[in-house]
């Protein structure tokens, strides 16, 4: 009497994997190359930032919060500063708003170029990976010239505005670099849209239908790749209200759609930056920050569009220089349930591509959630 029990293989994907930028463990239950079920276990990069945010006073927290994620550091400090400014009822000068949009889009371009490179590398297309990362060098040079450091620019956002200004010759220099960069990135477009190998590995893999995306709370390019038109930039924080912003949306819902969304977003961001530089050049020099008048008091939330989705901050203060509670919700945490829904039914060799297609930045999602052994 042979047992009719089916035997499954349990494969750990991660925490160290050549494809993953940050450690996360997915336990895949496979039935001979097809994934049947998945369990997630993460928390390898927990640093206790929420608790450290209560020890520091509200001004030092700007530097602490920048270091939640290295690539999207400007968005974190922007969101935090916006929350505190809402508590204090400060009105930011116009020039500061334009500068904030400029640096935010710079971070977005850098992050998308980094992701496109990693995605190509995950498929084995190393030369495309090198090309994308070469374009990224221009962006990092721009960040160094305008901000002060290549990746984490620091001191750019302070409560009440920004710390540095872009004027004089630097404006022309930035514009030249950006125009050159746009040409180079656009030259890589045929590889993504027409190359058959690229398409064969991404079309149809990791399918997320539209209603499931809504139910599971997907955000960012993961949701936009499935046809949902959602973007926090449409709300009009900082200077986005003047831009009449339209997000890039694709309908297919598979990994290829997400790649296209991110690629076209890169080009769109470079266009936004060029518009901002033009506006900055025409404006005359003005103040770039205002001084607060009192300590923050009350509780509020603020949201910002990160390259990966919607970033959410909850800040509670009580009139002293110390905050009572700081809560950060990063988009990767919202995108994990859709990932767990995408994986069952796919081939084992497609798992790296699918995992990377939601752009996991586990350093951001640094809450520790211990989920024990599930399964039978």
Partner 1 sequence: MPFMLPIIIKNLLSKPFTVKYPFEKREPLPKHKGQIEFDMSKCDLCQDCERLCPSVAIKVYPNAKVIEYDPFKCIYCHLCVQICMQIAIKGYTVYTPPSYVKEVKIFKQE
Partner 2 sequence: MTGKKFSYEEVKKASMIAKARELYHSNARFMTLVCNDRGDHFELIYYFERESDILEIRTKVRKGEVAQSVTPIYSCAFLAENEVKDGFGLNFMDLAADAGGVLLRTSETETLLKPATGVRPPLFWTPARCYLECPARTNVPRYLREIAEGKFEQAYETILEVNPLPAVLGRICLAPCETACRRAKNGEPISIRALKRFVADRVGLKPRKVHRNPLTGKKVAIIGAGPAGVTAAYYLGLLGHSVVVFDKLPKPGGMLFVGIPKYRLPKDILFAEIEARFKEAGVEFRPNNWIGDLDELFAQGFDAIFVATGAHEGAKLRVEGEEHPRVIDVLDLLREVNLYDRKPELGERVLVIGGGNSAMDAARVSLRLGAKEVWIYYRRTRNEMPASPSEVEAAEAEGIKFNFLAAPNRIMDGGKGKVKVGFIKTKLGKPDAAGRARPEPILGSEFIVEADTVIKAIGQVVTVPDGFKLERDDKGRIKVDPETLQTSRPGIFAGGDVVLGPSSAIESIATGRKAASSIDLFLGGGGLPEPKLELEFIWRPSPDDVINMKRINSPELPVERRVSTFDEVEQPYSVEDAVREASRCWKCDWYE
Does the protein bind partner 1 through residue 126 (CB under 8 A)?
no
Nearest alpha-carbon partner for 209 in 256, 247, 252, 261: 252
Compute the least distance from the CB of residue 214 to partner 2, in Å: 6
Compute the least distance from the CB of residue 94 to partner 2, in Å: 13
Q: ∠ CA(324), CA(325), CA(327), 5° rounding?
A: 165
Query: What residue has token string 């009719």?
Result: 4
Given the complex with partner 1, which of 2 and 127 has the nearer CB atom? 127
**Which residue of 41, 77, 131, 357 would you call a contact of partner 1, by CB under 8 A?**
131
Please state, as a whole number, how many other Cβ atoms lie within 10 Å of the Cβ of residue 126. Answer: 11
E strand map for 153-215: 157-158, 161-162
Do strands 157-158 and 34-41 pair parallel, antiparallel, or not at all (unpaired)? unpaired
Give the separation between CA 303 and CA 250, rounded to whole angstroms: 23
* Residue 217 interacting entry, from partner 1, partner 2, none, C-beta within 5 to 8 Å by type: partner 2
Query: What residue has token string 């339209």?
Result: 246
Compute the least distance from the CB of residue 56 to partner 1, in Å: 8
Compute the least distance from the CB of residue 138 to partner 1, in Å: 11
| Residue 166 near residue 174, CB atoms below 8 Å | yes
* Residue 63 interacting entry, from partner 2, partner 1, none, C-beta within 5 to 8 Å by type: partner 1
Cβ density class 348-375: b for 16+ within 10 Å, e for less: eebbbbbbbbbbbbbbbbbeeeeeeeee
Peptide bond into 232 cis (omega under 30): no
Given the complex with partner 1, which of 195 and 246 has the nearer CB atom? 195
Task: Considering only the stretches 43-51, 76-84, 123-131, 202-210, report the one whose residues sit in contact with partner 1 under the rule CB under 8 A.
Answer: 123-131
Does the protein bind partner 1 through residue 288 (CB under 8 A)?
no
**Which residue of 191, 243, 340, 348 would you call a contact of partner 1, by CB under 8 A?**
191
Task: Considering only the stretches 54-62, 72-80, 88-96, 320-328, report the one whose residues sit in contact with partner 1 under the rule CB under 8 A.
Answer: 54-62
Q: Which residues contact 127 (CB under 8 A, 6 or more apart)?
A: none
| Residue 226 near residue 145, CB atoms below 8 Å | no
For residue 250, give Cα distances in angstroms to 200, 212, 290.
18, 16, 41
Does the protein bind partner 1 through residue 63 (CB under 8 A)?
yes
* Residue 367 interacting entry, from partner 2, partner 1, none, C-beta within 5 to 8 Å by type: partner 2
Does the protein bind partner 1 through residue 289 (CB under 8 A)?
no
Give the separation between CA 357 and CA 359, rounded to whole angstroms: 5
Does the protein bind partner 1 through residue 128 (CB under 8 A)?
yes
Given the complex with partner 2, which of 86 and 164 has the nearer CB atom? 86
Rounded to 10 degrees, the C-alpha dihedral 234/236/238/242 comes to 100
Site residues, partner 2 (CB under 8 A): 37-40, 48, 50-52, 54-57, 59-60, 82, 86, 214-217, 235-238, 241, 291-295, 301, 310, 312, 314, 316, 321, 324-325, 327, 329, 333-334, 336-338, 340-341, 343-344, 367-375
**Which residue of 21, 23, 93, 148 would you call a contact of partner 1, by CB under 8 A?**
148
162 strand-pairing partners: 157
Interface with partner 1 (CB under 8 A), residue total 24
Query: Could you say which residues in the range 193-252 bind partner 1, by CB under 8 A?
Result: 194-195, 197
Q: What is the DSSP letter of 87?
A: H
Residues in contact with partner 1 by the rule CB under 8 A: 56, 60, 62-64, 127-128, 131, 134, 137, 141, 144-145, 148-149, 154-155, 187-188, 190-191, 194-195, 197
């Amino acid at each position: 009497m042979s047992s009719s029990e089916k035997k499954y293989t349990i494969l750990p994907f991660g925490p160290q994997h050549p494809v993953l930028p940050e450690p996360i463990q997915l336990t895949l239950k496979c039935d001979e190359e097809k994934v049947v079920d998945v369990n997630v276990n993460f928390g390898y990069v927990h640093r206790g930032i929420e608790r450290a945010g209560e020890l520091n006073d509200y001004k030092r927290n700007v530097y602490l919060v920048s270091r939640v994620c290295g690539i999207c550091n400007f968005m974190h400090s922007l969101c935090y500063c916006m929350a505190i400014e809402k508590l204090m009822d400060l009105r930011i000068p116009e020039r500061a708003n334009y500068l904030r949009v400029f640096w935010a889009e710079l971070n977005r371009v850098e992050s998308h170029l980094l992701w496109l490179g990693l995605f190509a590398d995950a498929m084995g297309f190393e030369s495309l990976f090198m090309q994308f990362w070469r374009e990224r060098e221009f962006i990092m040079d721009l960040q160094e010239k305008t901000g002060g450091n290549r990746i984490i620019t620091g001191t750019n956002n302070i409560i009440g505005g920004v710390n540095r200004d872009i004027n004089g010759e630097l404006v022309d220099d930035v514009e030249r670099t950006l125009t050159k960069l746009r040409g180079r990135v656009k030259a890589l477009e045929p590889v993504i849209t027409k190359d058959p190998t690229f398409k064969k590995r991404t079309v149809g893999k990791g399918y997320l239908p539209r209603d499931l995306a809504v139910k599971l709370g997907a955000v960012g390019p993961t949701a936009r790749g499935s046809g949902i038109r959602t973007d926090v930039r449409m709300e009009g924080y900082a200077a986005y209200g003047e831009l009449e912003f339209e997000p890039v949306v694709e309908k297919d819902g598979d990994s290829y759609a997400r790649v296209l969304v991110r690629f076209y977003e890169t080009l769109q961001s470079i266009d936004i930056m060029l518009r901002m530089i033009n506006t900055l050049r025409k404006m005359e020099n003005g103040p770039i920050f205002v001084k607060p008048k009192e300590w923050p008091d009350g509780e509020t939330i603020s949201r910002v569009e990160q390259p990966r989705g919607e970033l959410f901050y909850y800040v509670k203060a009580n009139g002293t220089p110390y905050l009572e509670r700081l809560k950060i919700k990063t988009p990767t945490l919202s995108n994990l349930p859709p990932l767990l829904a995408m994986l069952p039914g796919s081939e084992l060799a497609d798992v790296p591509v699918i995992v990377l297609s939601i752009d996991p930045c586990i350093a951001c999602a640094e809450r520790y959630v211990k989920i024990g052994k599930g399964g039978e």
